[in-house]
Amino acid sequence: MQKKSTSGRTSYHHGDLRRVVLDTAQAMLAEDRNWQFTLREVARRAGVSHAAPYKHFPDKASLLAELAMLGFDRLREVLAAAVATHPRSVRKAFLLAAIAYVRFGVEQPALYRLMFSAEASRGADVHLSERALNALGVLLELLQRGQQEGIFRRRPVRGQAAACWAQVHGLTLLTIDGLLLPEKVGDAPVDAALATLLEGLELP
């Protein structure tokens, strides 16, 4: 809940300030499509004092790390929702999850790039956090299920996950950058690439 201070500047209760700073930084990230803003700029945009963000984020790196982890939270939700639409078919669930992953990155390119940037990991082990691992866990569970049901080849699951992630991540970045040109890779390159990936996972 926000209230007006006697100086006219908006002030916030302890828990609300953190949310306001994060919401403002997320909006700036989406609008500017980069994270070159400063904490001072975030504070000005949020209508709080220049020192206010430091109550929850000691530096910009910690703010970027939290934005990245919020991205992984959303990605996990997106993947889990895609898988849930086809609970009986691991093959369909896999394809829908992969498509949802690409769409997530394409719809939020700045956030997606931040999630895998060096800046987001500076000062925080973002990619080994429980929140990032939970997103990967959706893929690991799908692969394990596929092996148990006799649909996917029995290989080390983490190796399969690395291959799947590498391909889908690459497809996402290529799509964001507009490099999957039909003259080079056909009219439906993402669908074709995912079908090929799935064929590599499946038992003959």
- pLDDT tens-digit map of 102-127: 999 999 999 999 999 988 877 568 99
pLDDT of residue 15: 56
pLDDT at position 20 is 94
Task: For residues 83 and 64, give the distance between their C-alpha atoms in angstroms, rounded to a whole number.
Answer: 29
Number of other residues whose CB lies within 10 A of the CB of residue 29: 21
pLDDT in tens, 136-168: 999 999 999 999 999 999 999 999 999 999 999
Question: Three-state DSSP class for 2?
Answer: strand
Position 182 pLDDT exceeds 70: yes
Alpha-carbon dihedral sign for residues 180, 185, 187, 189: negative
Q: Provide the CATH topology of domain 60-201.
A: Tetracycline Repressor; domain 2 (1.10.357)
Question: Helix 60-84 vs helix 130-148: angle between axes, to the nearest 10 degrees?
Answer: 20
Token readout for 80 is 């889990």
**Angle 143-110-31 from CA coordinates, rounded to 5°:** 145
Q: Which tokens belong to 47?
A: 């209508």
The CATH number of 1-57, from 1.10.3720.10, 1.10.10.60, 3.20.20.70, 3.40.50.2300, is: 1.10.10.60
In this prediction, residue 122 carries a pLDDT of 72
- Residues spanned by CATH 1.10.357.10 within the chain? 60-201
Min mean pLDDT across 45-49, 106-110, 140-144, 171-175 is at: 45-49
What pLDDT does residue 74 have? 98
Region at 12 (left for phi over 0; alpha for psi -120 to 50; beta for the rest): beta
pLDDT beyond 50 at 8? no
Helix, strand, coil share of the chain (percent; to 5): 70, 5, 25
Distance CA 90, CA 86 (A): 7
Task: Pinpoint the residues of the chain covered by CATH 1.10.10.60.
Answer: 1-57
What is the per-residue pLDDT for 196? Answer: 97
Q: Is the pTM of this model over 0.85?
A: yes
pLDDT at 123: 59
pLDDT score of 12? 52
